[in-house]
Amino acid sequence: MDERAAAVAELPAPRIETRRRLPSLVWIVPIIALLVGASLLVNALRAAGPRITISFQTAEGIEVDKTLIKYRNVVVGHVSGIALSQDHTQVLVTADLTRSAQAVTMLDTRFWVVRPRIALGAISGLETLISGAYISMESGVSTTPQRHFVGLESPPPLAHGPNGKLVVLEAQDAGSVSLGAPVYFRRVRVGRVINEELDPRGARVHVEVFVDGPYDRFVTRASRFWNASGIDLALDSAGLRLQTQSLAAVLAGGIAFESAPGLIDETPVPSGARFALYRNEQEAVAPPNGEPRYVQMRFTQSLRGLAPGAPVEFIGVDIGKVISIDLDYDVKQHRFPLIVTAALYPERMGRAYQVLRDNGTAEHEDRMAGLVGQLVARGLRAQARPASLLLARQLYISLDFIPGVAPAAFNPRAAPLEIPTAPADIEKLQRRLESILAKIDALPLASLAHHGDESLQELHRVLRDVDEGVVPSAEAALLSARQTLGTLDRTVAEDSPLSERLREVSSEAERTLRSVRFLTDYLGRHPEALLRGRRAEDVDRNPERVEKTP
C-alpha cells in the first residue's frame, strides 16, 4: 500500500482543460430560414394595408387569390374572399390592400370590374382576355377613410389628361352620342365624350366632353356645340341637305363646335363651363330664339301634309314651328275646323321686332298682342302652303300680308292669341288640276286610239308599197341617169369636135351680146337715130368695127 501510495504520489497531477465546441452545421439552415421568415413577416406587416369590402351585383370574373386590385394600372391588392350579403341581393368581395393604397381608400373612392367591353363607340378591357378580369379603383377628393364601398357596375367617366378643358353640355336628349364619341372643331378631332348622365329631375341630359390642349383655347363664350351624330339628311322647303363629319361620327356619333357667326367674344371659359347642345349646326349658328310665344290658327281646309315640327315663316323668315294639330267642331255650320297651335320666336325677326316692340305699350304681353293686332289689321293672314313643287304634299305655315283681304276680328285678350287664316292658292291649283283631269277624262280616248291605230296601219301599207314598187323603179332610174351622164361627159370632153364647136358658139354669142349692149346704149343717148339713122362720126365707135380694125 505504501509503495502504491508512493507511486501514486510520484505521478504528476493531471490538468483539466475545458474546450469550446462549435454548434453543428446542421442548425445553420433552420436558423437562416427562421431569420428570413421573420424578416418576411416583418415586411408583410409593414406593407400590409387595410382590408376593405366591396359590394357588387354579381361576382362575374372575380376569383379568390387571383383577381387583383389595381390603381392606375399598379397592383395594390388582391381579392381574399367572396360571400353573399345577408339578404342575398349583393356579392361582398373582401380585398386586402397594400399600405401604399391606404391613402386612396377614402369616402369617394370608386371601384369597378374591368372586363372586355365592346360597344359601337369604344372598346375597352381587351387586355383582360389574357390576364383575366381585375378590379380597378379611382380616388376622389375626400379625406375621410372608408372600408366599405359600393362598386360600380359600369366604368366611370373616361379618364383624361391634365392638359385640356372639361365642358358640360345640356340637351333635351343625347341622341346617338355615346361614351368615347369624338369632338370636332372645324372637322378636326380635338376631344371626346367622357360622361353622360341625367340631371336629378330627369328632364335634361348632361354630356361631359373633354377638349384636349392646345385646342381648348378655341372654347370661348362665342362657341356653339351641336350634335354631329350620323348623317344629317333634311328635305324641306330649302331643298335637300346632307351633312356629316366623318365615318366615326356616322357610326358612333359625335359632337362639333365652332364660334357662332357675328359673335366676336373670344374670352376663354374656365373648365366646367356649361353650354347648350343643339340638335344640328343650323340651330347652333342661328340667332338666339328667346322666349317662345304661342298662337293658334283655325283652318277650314284639309291640312294633309302638315305635321308637328313644320316651320312657321313670316315673309319667308323662319320664326317658329307647329306644336300640335287638333280637330274641332263648329256646331252652327256643322264643320270640322282644324286648330293649329304654333310656337313663335319673335326675336328671330331681328331688328324688325325691336322696332315694332319699341312702338308698343309698356307691358310685354300687351306689347305682343298689340304687335300682332297691328299686323292683322294690315292684312296679315296664316296660310298652309306646300314646301316646294317637289314636295307638294309637305305643308308649312306662312304668315304673309294678302292685298285686298277682308277685315278679320282679332281679340288681343285671347290666350293664346289667334291669328286669322286665309285659303291657300294650293286649293285653287287643285281645283284647276281636277278640272283639267275631268276634261281629259271626257275625251274619247278609245276612239282616238282606234283611229290612230287604223292610220298607222294604212301608213304601214303605203310604206310597204313604196318599198316594194317605187324603190326598185327609183334605183333603175338612178342607174339610167348615171349612164346618161357618163355618155354626156364623154361627148363634151375637151378634145372632142363638139367641145370645139361649143366654144365657137359661145364666142359668137358673146360678140352678139356686146353689139346689142352697144346699140342699146347708143339709142339711149340718141333716140332720134331711129328716124334719122346713125351719124357718120359714130360709126367708128361700133365695137364690131373696132374689133375688126387691124
The Cα 374–Cα 124 span in angstroms is 63
- Structure confidence at residue 180 as a pLDDT band (50, 70, 90): confident
Question: How would you classify the pairing of strands 205-212 and 188-198?
Answer: antiparallel
Is residue 259 over pLDDT 90?
no
Query: 486 or 537: whose pLDDT is higher?
Result: 486
The Cα 229–Cα 193 span in angstroms is 12
* CA–centroid distance for 531 within its chain: 106
Query: 61 or 518: whose pLDDT is higher?
Result: 61
The Cα 222–Cα 536 span in angstroms is 114
Backbone angles phi, psi at 159, to 5 degrees: -75, 155
Q: What is the pLDDT of residues 25-35, one digit of tens each?
A: 667 777 788 88
In this structure, which amino acid lies at residue 261? P
Is residue 497 over pLDDT 80?
no
In this structure, which amino acid lies at residue 134? Y
Is residue 92 over pLDDT 90?
yes
Q: What is the model's pTM?
A: 0.49
Q: What is the pLDDT of residues 532-549, one digit of tens each?
A: 666 666 655 554 444 443
Q: Report which listed range, 171-175, 176-180, 379-383, 492-496, is most confident.
A: 379-383
Looking at the chain, how many residues does it have? 550
Average pLDDT over residues 324-335: 87
Is residue 364 over pLDDT 50?
no
In the structure grid, which three cell numbers stand for residue 56, read together? 357588387
pLDDT of res. 55: 93
Share of the chain above pLDDT 70, in %: 70
pLDDT of res. 82: 92
- Structure confidence at residue 23 as a pLDDT band (50, 70, 90): low
Is residue 71 over pLDDT 50?
yes
Q: What's the chain's average pLDDT?
A: 76
The Cα 96–Cα 45 span in angstroms is 12
**First vs last C-alpha separation in the chain:** 218
pLDDT of res. 546: 43
- Structure confidence at residue 480 as a pLDDT band (50, 70, 90): confident
The Cα 68–Cα 96 span in angstroms is 10
Query: 356 or 224: whose pLDDT is higher?
Result: 224
Q: Report which listed range, 208-212, 470-474, 527-531, is most confident.
A: 208-212
The Cα 257–Cα 40 span in angstroms is 58
